[in-house]
Amino acid sequence: DKKKEIIIRSIQVIKMRLLSQTIKSSMAIAARLSARNRITLNNRMGVIRHVHIEKRLSDLGIELPPLGTPKGSYALTSRQGNLLYLAGHLPMPTDGKLMVGKVGDTISPEDAAIAAKWCALNIISTLKAELGDLDNVVKIHKLVGFVNCVDGFDAQPKVINGASDTMFEIFGDAGRHARSAVGTNALPLNVPVEIEAIVEFKG
């Protein structure tokens, strides 16, 4: 009888241990699923992104241009709370030579769209210098694009798409933004495009 009692107790101990392990495993699985659900929800809301922007740039083969300097008596950026207002940025490629020309005259709309892309990349260079880490960008809220064009040219949105597409390509959903695309008869230094931005960053 004593031997039987010992066997029964041993079986009970084993059952308790198995039950405890099962409960712990279930709790761990539930915690992981909960975390995944939170990540999915936050991603849908645009709250967080598990993407390192520097790696994204590298994967895309994109080299940022050198940090630009103001072309007048103004600052490149101004902060208000968690919003960063960026002054108009010009199309300066990595070789340091400004793209110039009037759209519809001395530069094609396609090349002007490339200029808009360089404006966006210059904005990103400024963001990196200002925020230290591009992963601190929460949202590109707005771009305002100006196109130096001839009278009658009405494809400004297609030109500024060069910048908008670049922002989305690099930042994903956080790069989707409100936008204006405005035609004008002249821009500083005869550039074809100038773009300013409003960006939210992590506080």
Return d(Cα 181, Cα 42) in angstroms, integer. Answer: 31
Q: Check: CB of residue 87 under 8 Å from CB of residue 77.
A: yes
Q: 12-16, 55-59, 155-159, 160-164: which has the minimum mean pLDDT?
A: 12-16
Position 179 confidence tier, pLDDT thresholds 50, 70, 90 = very high
Q: Is 125 exposed, middle or buried (0-12, 13-18, 19+ CB in 10 A)?
A: buried
What confidence tens digit (pLDDT) does each residue in 128-167 have? 999 999 999 999 999 999 999 999 999 999 999 999 999 9
Residues 6+ apart with CB under 8 A from 105: 150
Which residue is associated with the tokens 């103004």?
74
Determine the pLDDT at residue 15: 67
Interstrand relation of 83-89 and 137-148 (parallel, antiparallel or unpaired): unpaired
Q: What is the pTM of this model?
A: 0.76
Q: What is the pLDDT of residue 42?
A: 45
Minimum mean pLDDT among 24-38, 52-66, 111-125, 128-142: which range? Answer: 24-38
Residue 89 near residue 59 (C-beta atoms within 8 A)? no
The model's confidence at residue 203, banded by pLDDT at 50, 70 and 90, is confident
According to DSSP, the β-strands at 193-201 and 83-89 are antiparallel
Assign 8 a pLDDT band (cuts: 50, 70, 90): low
